[in-house]
Amino acid sequence: MPTFSLTKKIKLPEDNRLVLLMWLAVTLIFVVDSWITHRFNNYLIFENTFRNLLHQQSFYAAYPEFHEDSNHYGPVFSLIVAPFASLPNWLGLLFWNLFNCLFLFKAIQTLPMSNKDRITFGFIALPCLIESMLNQQFNAAAGALIILNYTQLNKAKGFFSSMFMVLGIFVKLYGIIGLAFFFFVKNKPKYILFSIFWAMVFFLLPMFFSSPLFVFESYQEWIGSLAEKNSINVMGAGTDMSIMGFFRTLFNSTYISNSICISIGAVLFMLPFINFSAYGKRRFQLLILASSLLFPILFSTGAEDCTFIISIAGVGIWYVLEKNKKLKNILLPVLLITACDFPMLFFPVFAKSHPILLSMLSFPYFLVWIRVLYKAFRYKKIFANEYTSELAY
């Protein structure tokens, strides 16, 4: 049986341990802040899903007696949050945020990069980590699933890579971007079989805690809830921080079609894959991973400031691969400043009345994505001196 351990010891250099301590400090600071201010809302949405699973109540209805807003995650998510939901809320929140923080940190350690690059990566991610921990979100773990989907691709014959991909799909749909890595799989028939196996596991697993009919209906309701949320965001009643939302706000038009924008984005996303002979090159694969971490947030109408913890991982990969220092020194600071979401932090009323200040957050990420696509598309020419051999870290 293939083995994969998330608890396997990694010897971290001192600077990397410093990054870990900073990540943990950020996590603990915002947990304590939530305790003091009694701000548990997002966590309560999540932990309530396990209660709803056991009582066979809708995952997607409003429960004002427990929390504001509603859940938008798949049924299997209720089992992920189950260990935390069994604890008192104050303690459950602590371990929930620590889980998300450490899971992403662990995933970053699996990337084929030097320790110096991982340290840089860790510092770049800090502003988005703050947003994610402040909002008690699952997005850090969602980003980790995409990263692990790639880094475990040809280990244990793809058994765990396919698990991370399918789990990502069944929880938040973003995991479907992992299909892009299929081009790099060595044993494709086994990978397909493993993916089918995991799809059956994650579809059936919640049924052991409720009933087949309830779970089946929940999946149907989930799709409806996502469509409703998309409609609300497009029409301006919600906050759409996607690149489509940015252009809709910039041109003051709700008629910029999601389907057309996503179709154009998908074509651009696939363009680098014409470099068939580059599929085995590590640097090319990392560029595709960076693009895969950026794309689903840029083209999701459900994108919020706290979801960019997924995309910042793509930015980190771009930064350590980018050789143009002038571009790095200009684009990264601009991106990190917008990532801190200063308008919403210091002038929330003004920012909410001027949506462009919120939606502009996606634009620097979009520029990074275009740069990543360019480098991957012109891989053969840009990395001609490295093209005949694997990139060594």
Q: For residue range 304-338, what is the model confidence (pLDDT) as tens digits?
A: 888 999 999 999 999 999 999 999 999 999 898 88
Determine the Cα–Cα distance for residues 58 and 217; give it in Å rounded to an integer. 9
Under 8 Å between Cβ of 185 and 149: no
Determine the pLDDT at residue 389: 44
Average pLDDT of the residues in 203-226: 94
Determine the pLDDT at residue 38: 92
- 105-114, 228-237, 273-282: segment of lowest average pLDDT: 228-237
Q: What is the mean pLDDT of the chain?
A: 88
Name the residue ranges covered by the structural domains of the chain. 238-387
Average pLDDT of the residues in 268-274: 96
Average pLDDT of the residues in 333-360: 70
Under 8 Å between Cβ of 93 and 45: no
User: Is residue 392 scored above 70 in pLDDT?
Assistant: no
Average pLDDT of the residues in 348-368: 77
Average pLDDT of the residues in 345-363: 69
User: Is residue 210 scored above 90 in pLDDT?
Assistant: yes
Tokens read off for 77: 């998510």
Average pLDDT of the residues in 335-352: 68
Determine the pLDDT at residue 384: 60
Q: Find, among 219, 232, 238, the residue nearest to 58 by Cα.
A: 219
User: Is residue 385 scored above 60 in pLDDT?
Assistant: no
pLDDT class of 222 with cuts at 50, 70, 90: very high
User: Is residue 387 scored above 50 in pLDDT?
Assistant: no
User: Is residue 231 scored above 80 in pLDDT?
Assistant: no
User: Is residue 8 scored above 70 in pLDDT?
Assistant: no
Determine the pLDDT at residue 298: 93
Determine the pLDDT at residue 228: 80
Say which residue, 12 or 155, is predicted with more confidence. 155
User: Is residue 182 scored above 90 in pLDDT?
Assistant: yes
Report percent pLDDT > 70 for the chain: 87
Determine the pLDDT at residue 265: 94
3-state class (DSSP) for residue 129: helix
- Provide long-range contacts, Cβ within 8 A and 24+ apart, for 303-306: 303/240, 303/241, 303/242, 303/245, 303/362, 304/135, 304/239, 304/241, 305/131, 305/135, 305/241, 305/339, 305/341, 305/344, 305/358, 305/361, 306/128, 306/131, 306/132, 306/134, 306/135, 306/137, 306/139
pLDDT class of 260 with cuts at 50, 70, 90: confident
Determine the pLDDT at residue 19: 93
Query: Could you please report the per-residue DSSP string of 56-113?
Result: T--SSS--TTT-SS---S-TTHHHHSHHHHTS-HHHHHHHHHHHHHHHHHHHHHTSSS
The phi, psi pair for 157, rounded to 5°, reads 60, 25
Q: Which residues contact residue 178 at a Cβ distance below 8 angstroms, ignoring those fewer than 6 apart?
A: 146, 149, 150, 161, 164, 165, 168, 169, 292
* Residue whose pair of structure tokens reads 């938040």 in the numeric block: 172
Q: For residue range 23-58, what is the model confidence (pLDDT) as tens digits?
A: 999 999 999 999 999 999 999 999 999 999 999 999
User: Is residue 77 scored above 70 in pLDDT?
Assistant: yes
3-state class (DSSP) for residue 257: coil
Determine the Cα–Cα distance for residues 39 and 375; give it in Å rounded to an integer. 43
Determine the pLDDT at residue 359: 76
